[in-house]
Structure 1
Amino acid sequence: MLPGPRTHLIHRPETADSAPSLVIDRPPLARESLSTLPNNNSTLPRPARGRLSTLLLSGGSEPDPRFSLANERTFLAWIRTSLALLAGGVAVDAFLAGFLSPAIHKTIALLLFALALLLGGGSFFRWLNIERAMRRGTPLPLPWIAPLLAGGAAVVTATLISVFLARWT
């Protein structure tokens, strides 16, 4: 069970006509019922951001949390794809060593590793650029990661096809 709203005990000093007392002071939102709170999250007070967040996400206003969370889910999807490419590179290096020449299987594995590296690193910058665009109300940037991934996959696939065709003829 979650604890209730934070409360602070404030000691009020004695005055000439009153006895000493302890008063429970609650934050302003704790006094209001939930039904009276506005539905728009932008009117609620926001906690201060840290230095790094302020540096990376400077300018603009806080976007709707749903959009920020959708941006984060997309970032995580790119990371999963990067990890799959990394696993593919390991698999090519481990299992195709006897099937392909050492130069070719290492080249394919290195291409997959390089794609994984670029995709993993690029996904952060994609997330950051979209987050900044949402905060500033500017158009979303074009995705350069998708063409990079498509081009890299095409190179790896073309290399494998050419190796298999050369081997079978």
Structure 2
Amino acid sequence: MSRFPRWVYDRGTEPDPRFSLANERTFLAWIRTSLALVAAGVALNAVQVPLAAGFQTASTVVLVMLGLLAAGQGWLGWVRAERALRENRALPGPSLGPVMTAGVLVAAGLVGVGLLL
């Protein structure tokens, strides 16, 4: 039986299904985070919030871009972890964790400063 993506599943040996399912749950958590960030950006743009000029647009762009990055992290993280499981290697850490943290802080800061001005 062939599974997609073949370049992931054709490597190594089949791991314990519990680990693959946990990896999938982590992927889905990244996707939920991505959807929440994009929704927050869209909502911030759609609702009249008393922000200083430019802060609303900047916050919206940061949130939507973070949503795109979270989706990418979810996919790449799933691939990297699934390969590591199949090749009996140590699991990699999230490569965009610090970027996501900094981005959320920047977006929150923009909204906070924009409300105060």
TM-score (norm 2): 0.90
Superposed displacement of residue 135, structure 1: 0.3
Which structure shows the higher strand fraction?
A: 1
**1:6-85 matched pairs, under 5 angstroms:** 48-50=1-3, 52-85=4-37
Q: Tell me the residue number matched to 1:118.
A: 69
Aligned residue pairs total 117
Partner-residue secondary structure (3-state), 1:100: coil
Would you say 1:86 and 2:38 are equivalent positions? yes
> In terms of Rg, which structure is larger?
1
Q: Distance in 2 between matches of 1:89 and 1:138?
A: 38
Q: Tell me the residue number matched to 1:95.
A: 47
Gaps of 5+ in 2: none
Q: Tell me the residue number matched to 2:106.
A: 155
Gaps of 5+ in 1: 1-47
Which structure shows the higher helix fraction?
A: 2
**Residues 80 and 92 of structure 2 are in contact (CA less than 8 Å); yes or no, is this contact kept in structure 1?**
yes
**Residues 133 and 140 of structure 1 are in contact (CA less than 8 Å); yes or no, is this contact kept in structure 2?**
yes
TM-score (norm 1): 0.64
**Match of 1:49, as an amino acid?**
S
Percent of pairs with identical residues: 41
**Match of 1:76, as an amino acid?**
L
Moved over 6 A (4+): none
Q: CA RMSD in A?
A: 1.6
